[in-house]
């Protein structure tokens, strides 16, 4: 492994213990998780840089493989999802994003005052996709939502009416403006 063009080797043989209760176990190493070849610190570092540069540029800058950057981002995202707290979500934004060749993604994000964060991304722009996203957030989160902002796409409106009908539904101004401008033509 190379750090800032300084060649580094880390050799360590974890101790194995034959526990009468749990059988053979390997000692806990706080700098590593599972069978990852990279340390937790390096994975977090690579994931942070992968937000600023392409994954290939990150790999080249830190002299690791593209796959190491990919695995680092994957591990960091999974860690974040496992440890995120969804208490107090009062306002949701629901939108779609054109992605790839003709594909769409469904996005659910928190738009509370002082907190803006992406909560869920799903493939396709369908009612089923949005329902899956709301299921992922859980009934506790969905029941606490007071405001929903979305465009006027009928499948999303149907799901919002069924699943978050208790919340005040605000239509986003971009789509309203587009419809008003189109009505004058």
Q: What is the pLDDT of residues 53-80, one digit of tens each?
A: 999 999 999 989 999 999 999 999 889 8
pLDDT of residue 90: 94
Angle between the N-to-C axes of helices 127-137 and 154-163, in degrees from 0 to 180, rounded to the nearest 10 = 30
Same domain? 51 vs 32: yes
User: Which of 83, 113, 133 is the last residue in one of the domains?
Assistant: 83
Higher pLDDT pick, 68 / 8: 68
Higher pLDDT pick, 31 / 170: 170
Total structural domains within the chain: 2
- Please choose, from the candidates 128, 138, 129, 137, the residue with its C-alpha nearest in 3D space to the C-alpha of residue 106: 129
pLDDT of residue 185: 64
Average pLDDT score, the chain: 86
Same domain? 97 vs 179: yes
Same domain? 35 vs 58: yes
Same domain? 60 vs 104: no
Same domain? 77 vs 95: no
Same domain? 145 vs 70: no
User: Which of 83, 109, 143 is the last residue in one of the domains?
Assistant: 83
Query: Is the predicted pLDDT of residue 110 greater than 80, yes or no?
Result: yes
Same domain? 50 vs 108: no
Same domain? 157 vs 95: yes
Sorting pLDDT into bands at 50, 70 and 90, what band is 154? Answer: confident
Q: Which two tokens stand for residue 72?
A: 């680092």
What mean pLDDT is predicted for residues 80-86?
Answer: 87
Same domain? 73 vs 95: no
Identify the domain containing residue 172 by its residue range. Answer: 91-183
Q: Which residue has the tokens 């007071």?
A: 146
* CA geometry: angle 128, 131, 133, nearest 5 deg: 110
Same domain? 79 vs 96: no
Same domain? 74 vs 100: no
């Amino acid at each position: 492994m190379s750090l800032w063009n300084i060649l580094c080797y880390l050799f360590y043989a974890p101790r194995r213990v034959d526990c009468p209760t749990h059988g053979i176990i390997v000692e806990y190493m706080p700098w590593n998780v599972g069978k990852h070849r990279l340390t937790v610190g390096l994975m977090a570092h690579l994931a942070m840089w992968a937000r600023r540069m392409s994954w290939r540029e990150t790999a080249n800058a830190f002299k690791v493989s593209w796959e190491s950057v990919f695995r680092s981002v994957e591990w960091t995202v999974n860690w974040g999802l496992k440890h995120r707290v969804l208490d107090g979500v009062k306002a949701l934004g629901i939108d779609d994003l054109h992605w790839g060749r003709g594909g769409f993604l469904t996005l659910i994000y928190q738009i509370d005052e002082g907190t803006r964060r992406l909560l869920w991304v799903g493939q396709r722009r369908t009612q089923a996709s949005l329902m899956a996203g709301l299921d992922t957030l859980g009934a506790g989160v969905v029941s606490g939502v007071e405001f929903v902002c979305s465009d006027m796409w009928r499948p999303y409106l149907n799901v919002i009416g069924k699943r978050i009908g208790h919340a005040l539904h605000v239509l986003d101004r971009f789509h309203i403006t587009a419809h008003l401008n189109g009505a004058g033509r």
